[in-house]
Amino acid sequence: DADVTQTPRNRITKTGKRIMLECSQTKGHDRMYWYRQDPGLGLQLIYYSFDVKDINKGEISDGYSVSRQAQAKFSLSLESAIPNQTALYFCATGQRGGPPGELFFGEGSRLTVL
């Protein structure tokens, strides 16, 4: 079983719909991240969390919200999806005190907004 699991893996939705992408991890890491990847662009950080009560905005947080329900779960929501949010979304985990920049990524959630 994957250490970092994302659901759904693929989703097609329409403009204006609310979408939630979920991430769960079994690595026991305290830090969790949501990144977005677009073709030809580097991964961009949307939100990150260092523990259950900690939520921080990344580079491109507008139009997104997150919830850290438990240490192992971190969900990303699009309240009203728009076509330019079509992208590949990755959840990642990291360990406080671990090697700097060593993140563990899930398999990705491909979102298409029509």
Partner 1 sequence: SQKIEQNSEALNIQEGKTATLTCNYTNYSPAYLQWYRQDPGRGPVFLLLIRENEKEKRKERLKVTFDTTLKQSLFHITASQPADSATYLCALTGSSNTGKLIFGQGTTLQVKP
Footprint on this chain of partner 1 (rule: CB under 8 A)? 4, 31, 33, 35, 40-45, 48, 50, 58, 90, 92, 94, 99-108
We find the least distance from the C-beta atom of residue 79 to partner 1, in angstroms, to be 24
We find the least distance from the C-beta atom of residue 60 to partner 1, in angstroms, to be 12
We find the least distance from the C-beta atom of residue 113 to partner 1, in angstroms, to be 20
Q: Output helix, strand, coil percentages for the chain, rounded to the nearest 5.
A: 5, 50, 45
Pick 84 or 102: Cβ nearer partner 1: 102
| Residue at token pair 């949307």 | 46
We find the least distance from the C-beta atom of residue 46 to partner 1, in angstroms, to be 11
Among residues 58, 49, 59, 46, the alpha carbon closest in space to that of 89 is found at 46
Please report, for residues 15, 34, 77, 106, the alpha-carbon distance to residue 85 in angstroms, rounded to integers and kept in the order given. Answer: 10, 14, 11, 19
Alpha-carbon distance 25 to 82, whole Å? 28
Pick 9 or 18: Cβ nearer partner 1: 9
